[in-house]
Amino acid sequence: MVLDAASGTPGLTWAPVLPVLAKHFRVIVYDRAGLGMSDPVIPLAAETSVEDLIALLADVGQGPCVLVGNSWGGLLAQRVAWAVPELISGLVLVDPAHEEFQPLVGRLADEAFARLFAVQKALGLAERSIRKGASRAARVATGDRRVQELLIDAELACYGHRHQMRTAMAENRMVRDQVLVFRRLRASSQLPNVPVRVLSATEGLPKGLRAQWTMLHGQIAAAAERGEHSVVPESGHYIHQSQPEVVTKAVLAVVERAGLG
């Protein structure tokens, strides 16, 4: 299976679910170009991200894969599934982005985060902020203190270069810039006849906006021949970090329904 992260985030965000999944399957987590440990790419384009993911799936060489995507990674997963259904044996979409959900609050939050991070970087406070978040995630991922420190060091390395932040900001803009493209593709495409599980978060947005986003998630599942939609109580946008056991169970259920278990 292949795991694709949210916009502007490295594959390391999947760490909390990896110990369980890796016991059963070959799990591939990668950094998109310009993020984490991957080399930068200029210019950044959605088409390049799609082509890279297709190339990765094709290069696995062990048949179709279960593709798991969070947020922007979930939207990319759908686009890849539309384009090359023969490479997909199942989909798990973790609070996936949707072209019809682009609220002003999201744009303002992205811009505020970018400004805050720039100020923290200038004042030498960014590392402290990243380390704090990385420490929380590492404790969720493992009880091994040595592995926790390795995860924290890796997280710091994922934000140590200017091109990583530039790419993160560019990806956030790209989600909005691709609205018309995804709208056209969704209208003319169909997800493959494979198990599709869509997970919706419940926290992090005003109630009305969250209800709108959750409704769109339900539409994704309803449009898939073997789709299923679940709302995860007390979960934030990164459900695999706030409720990792829910995500692992969803992935394992898709694997079973696909006949791969």
* pLDDT 10s digits, 148-192: 888 888 888 877 777 877 887 788 778 778 889 999 999 999 999
Any idea what the CATH number is for the domain that residue 86 is in?
3.40.50.1820
Count of domains observed in the chain: 1
* pLDDT 10s digits, 183-241: 999 999 999 999 999 999 999 888 999 999 999 999 999 999 999 999 999 999 999 99
> What is the pTM for the complete model shown?
0.87
Instruction: Say if residues 174 and 7 touch (Cβ distance below 8 Å).
Output: yes
Tell me the two tokens of residue 207: 């109630």
**Averaged pLDDT score across all residues of the chain:** 86
Tell me the two tokens of residue 147: 């592995």
- Is 90 exceeded by the pLDDT of residue 42? no
Tell me the two tokens of residue 156: 């710091």
* Domain, as residue range, for 107: 2-257
Residue 122, number of CB atoms within 10 A of its CB:
9
Contacts of residue 171, Cβ cutoff 8 Å, sequence gap at least 6? 7, 8, 32, 35, 44, 72
* pLDDT 10s digits, 64-116: 999 999 999 999 999 999 999 999 999 999 999 999 987 544 444 444 445 54
Strands (E), the chain: 2-4, 28-29, 65-70, 88-94, 196-200, 227-231
